[in-house]
Amino acid sequence: MKSFFENIRSFFQKFKRKPIPQADVPAINEPPTSPRASGALRAKPKVDRFSIISWAVTIFIVAALLGSTLYYKSTLPAAVDIPAAQPTSESNTGSVGQPQAGEPIVGGEGSGVPSILRKLQLITNIPERPRYESVIYRVSRGDAMLAIADEFKLKSESILYVNTQLEDNPHNLKPGMELTIPPVDGLYYEWKDGDTFEMVAEKFDADAEEIINFPGNNIDLTNPNVEPGTLVMIPGGARDLRAWEQDLQTAGRGANTGTGGSNATNSCGGGPVASGFGWPASSHAISGSGYGPGHLGLDIQASEGEPVYAAGNGIVTMAQGGWNYGYGNVVQIDHGNGYVTVYAHLSTINVSQCTPVGQGSVIGAAGNTGNSFGAHLHFEVRIGGSNINPYDIVQ
């Protein structure tokens, strides 16, 4: 800026008026001087043109900057203050004069700027991306197979398929255990020499194209080929799970009653027959796993020591304490009409084998025995030796 003004000053120096030389005046012709004018005559001050012009240029530049700033601000869209939506009751919803969230805000004269028609959020919604690799989950105290499966949006049997340490039994969950969580429902298969996609798909009731196209398998679509020993994800694949209930040694009530068979040790004979079934506990809430492959019963919420009731009339064909393949203290009732009910993880047993019971009789108390952490009642219903969903018959 300094050099700018120096250039201007040198330019105007060219036009500066030169002083007119004064002729020497004889002393005789000199005008008389007053006492104030004694000594040298004082020159009259002259106006500095450069100062005037430099100030004029400065004022012009400042005015131009202010004007451009005001013009720029006038071109910006007007900011609208959007008041927070106030909660309203049903009685004043839609009342006149109350601005609604997402509606235009209009002034008293009927003018105004419409508000943004969207809901304000403090957290950005990031769309969920598909997962193609397995993850590791560490079991915590209180975890149940159903809750873990729901967290990862999978079926509980898919977790059983890929975690052989569980031995197809969801009650084998232990705090600190690390589970492999597959990316989708299905199972992993170690590819063997001579395998084809069609053979593997048929073995696990899956689709060959889904195996080839699953991104996590990294299969070259132009030349589908898998090296032996490669672990391949079988989307939608399934296999048979071990039926642990078949290992229980029970007593038989008679022919075609739902118990007995190869595991029967003795016969209890006839007894009352059930005509209907009721709920076996005071609570109807499910505290752990529901019914499904790998968990053939319901885990009903029940505190330690709460009474457990017979779901229907029948004969007790098993009343046994101990481990019992993870069932713990267990009672089994044959209802004489093809149905059998099982009550597991009991803290106490109030009946003995071959005892007749009526619907609603207290047969024991809920507990935490066997393969269980956290008191509850494990309840199963079987017909013809096969498990069914208890919700289908119990009211």
More confident residue, 162 or 49: 162
Please give the pLDDT value at position 5: 63
Which among 162, 164, 225, 231 is positioned nearest to 191, based on CA atoms?
A: 231
Q: pTM to 2 decimals?
A: 0.52
pLDDT digit string, tens, across residues 199-229? 999 999 999 999 999 999 999 999 999 999 9
Would you say residue 196 has pLDDT above 50?
A: yes
Alpha-carbon span 144 to 135, nearest angstrom: 18
Give which of 304, 294, 361, 292 is closest to 329, Cα–Cα. Answer: 304
Residue 138: strand pairing partners: 178
Which of 255, 200, 262, 258 lies closest to 230, judged by CA? 200
For residues 343 and 327, what is the distance between their CA atoms, to the nearest angstrom?
9
- Three-class DSSP labels, 32-77: CCCHHHCCCCCCCCCCCHHHHHHHHHHHHHHHHHHHHHHHHHHHCC
List pLDDT tens digits, range 106-131.
Answer: 544 555 555 555 666 667 676 778 89
Phi first, then psi: what are they for 231, rounded to 5°? Answer: -85, 115
The β-bridge relationship of strands 376-383 and 314-320 is unpaired
What are the sequence ranges of the domains in the chain? 135-235, 244-392
Q: What fold characterizes domain 244-392?
A: Glucose Permease (Domain IIA) (2.70.70)
Superfamily classification of domain 135-235: LysM domain (3.10.350.10)
